[in-house]
Amino acid sequence: MEIPSINLGRGKLPDSLDMPSIPLDPPTADMPVFPPIVIPPTNLQAPKGVEMEEAPSEDEETAQVEQPTLRVPVIKIDLPLPTAEVVATATYAAVAAVA
């Protein structure tokens, strides 16, 4: 049994196109430079004759932050304003609800 075949002849491929090369420079990166952090040792003591400064202690009264209010002069009412944390949380919730 003979397998049939077809003779297509010798085909000639066209010449390839002359494509110009694209000059690509290798990527560069600017690394951030941070100043070194100096951590003093735990056993560091002041020299003789120098007194250590005491850190001011925060009282509970001064530590509390007053809630900001908006004074409306025409109707003489103080409107409480939300804090920055409340505004940020409401903004995130509104964006998440829409998205």
Each domain of the chain, given as residue ranges in start order, spans: 69-98
- The model's pLDDT over 37-88, given as tens digits with 9 standing for 90+, comes to 888 888 888 788 888 777 766 665 555 667 778 887 778 788 888 888 888 9
Q: What pLDDT score was predicted for residue 63? A: 55
Asked if residues 67 and 81 have their Cβ atoms less than 8 Å apart, the reply is: yes
Closest CA to 79 of 71, 90, 87, 91: 71
Determine the length of the chain.
Answer: 99
